[in-house]
Structure 1
Amino acid sequence: MYKDYAISPELFHWKSQNATSPGSPTGRRYLDPTAHGSKILIFTRDTSEDETGLTVPYTCLGQVDYVQHAGEKPVAITWRLHRTMPADVFATAAAVAR
Structure 2
Amino acid sequence: MGKRLQRLSWKKICHPVMENGLGVRSLHDTWKALTIKLRWSSRTKDSLWSKFIESRNIVKCIHPLCSTIGSITSSTWKNMLAVKDIAQEHITVRLIGGSSSLWIDN
Measured against the shorter chain, the TM-score band is under 0.3
TM-score, structure 1 normalization: 0.24
Which of the pair is proportionally richer in helix?
A: 2
Q: Which has the higher strand share?
A: 1
TM-score by length of 2: 0.23
CA radius of gyration, larger in: 2
**Greater relative CO, 1 or 2 (CA 8 Å, sep 6+):** 1
